[in-house]
Amino acid sequence: MNQAAYRMLISGQDRRLRAVLLRAVLRCFAFVYAAAVRCRNLLYQYGLIRSHAVQVPVISIGNITTGGTGKTPLVIWLCRYLSQKQIRCAVLTRGYKTTAGEMSDEPALLAKSCPGVQVVVHPDRVAGAEKALRDYQPQVLVLDDGFQHQRIQRDLNIVAIDATCPFGYDKLLPAGLLREPISELKRADAAIITRFDLADAQQASHIEQRIRDLAGPIPVARAVHRHTHAIQANGQPLPLEKLRTMKLFVYCGIGNPQAFMHCLQQDGFTIVGNCFFNDHHDYTMQDIKSIAAKAQHCGADMAVCTQKDWVKTAVFCRQIESFSFGAMALELEFAANAEAIEALIDQVIQRQAYKKYE
């Protein structure tokens, strides 16, 4: 089952008898998964499984649901913020289907977007932290996708909540998209509602209130994803104004492709077709040739993807001379309460400075 069909199934949009029966089966699996997750969380809560402390502050960026919450742009924003403060940081990431030291799409994008920031890929985040401290001497460690990873103690727990699907259909995997019970938001120190502009005012207010009901009086910020320009196959930027005069074909292999589409449409681009792959898709030259053929059939002037997809596809796209490819450069921009998030980060930095001189 592909990703789009799975979302239709768990969201209840597919109302065929087969889908109803399959949802019942998935709820049974979700019950077992929930029991395992609750047991694990209790073991950490009561110290029966040990969390490892490290020598420098740890800031975790994570989520409560799986797939496409805008976590990577948030990690990039945090690394740039620390760099502006003259703070050396390193990112700890598990990677996806990788071995230690190997770069997949998200780690490669992090490394490219944050020059000077070391990205350490290791399936064992404790071993990754030891490597980062030994080899790079960071002043702060950024734990990518770290909310569920409780083996490392953290000084600040920031959770990204996607406004387009904030609570994973209120069901745990595999019946929904929740990675753990929604009540575990109580562990968060702050929440950032991403893609805030894709929800209406009433929806956004409801999301924020529910976060506070679950997590208590923590800072809740609002953020949007802003496309700044397109990156052409030759590496040159293409202004958005020029792109708005063109017909675009969209392709991607990310957790929430519809959010990417909505963002492009909201920015005023003309979309004439699309091709979606599963998250972390391993592209081939044949995939790119197929995308080019579909785009040309739709009358598109250019096929565009996310920066994460571009990491994997650029080398193939440059070999297609008969059609234009590009990637949409994106940045996270705060719409409200950024100062509260920055204040929490500054407190973590200051505590480490005081500790250094004790």
Q: Is the pLDDT of residue 352 over 80?
A: no
Say what the alpha-carbon torsion angle 132, 134, 138, 143 is, to the nearest 10 degrees. 30
Cα 242 to Cα 260, 273, 307, distances in angstroms? 19, 19, 19
% of the chain surpassing 70 pLDDT: 96
Q: Which domains does the chain have, with CATH numbers?
A: 3-45 (no CATH), 58-219+337-356 (3.40.50.300), 227-330 (3.40.50)
Q: Is the pLDDT of residue 17 over 70?
A: yes
Q: Which of 331, 326, 165 lies closest to 251 in space, CA to CA?
A: 326
- Predicted confidence at residue 224, as pLDDT, reads 95
Q: Are the C-beta atoms of residues 95 and 121 closer than 8 Å to each other?
A: yes
pLDDT band at 67 (very low <50, low <70, confident <90, very high): confident
pLDDT, tens only, 103-113: 567 889 999 99
pTM (2 d.p.): 0.92
pLDDT, tens only, 150-159: 999 999 999 9
- Predicted confidence at residue 291, as pLDDT, reads 98
Who's near 269: CB < 8 A, 6+ residues apart?
243, 244, 248
Alpha-carbon distance 207 to 96, whole Å?
29
Provide the 3-class DSSP secondary structure of residue 97: coil
Q: Is the pLDDT of residue 351 over 80?
A: no
Q: How many C-beta neighbours within 10 Å does residue 199 have?
A: 18
Q: How many C-beta neighbours within 10 Å does residue 305 have?
A: 28
Say what the alpha-carbon torsion angle 135, 136, 137, 140 is, to the nearest 10 degrees. -130
- 226: phi then psi, degrees, rounded to nearest 5: -110, 125
- Predicted confidence at residue 75, as pLDDT, reads 97
Q: Is the pLDDT of residue 357 over 70?
A: no
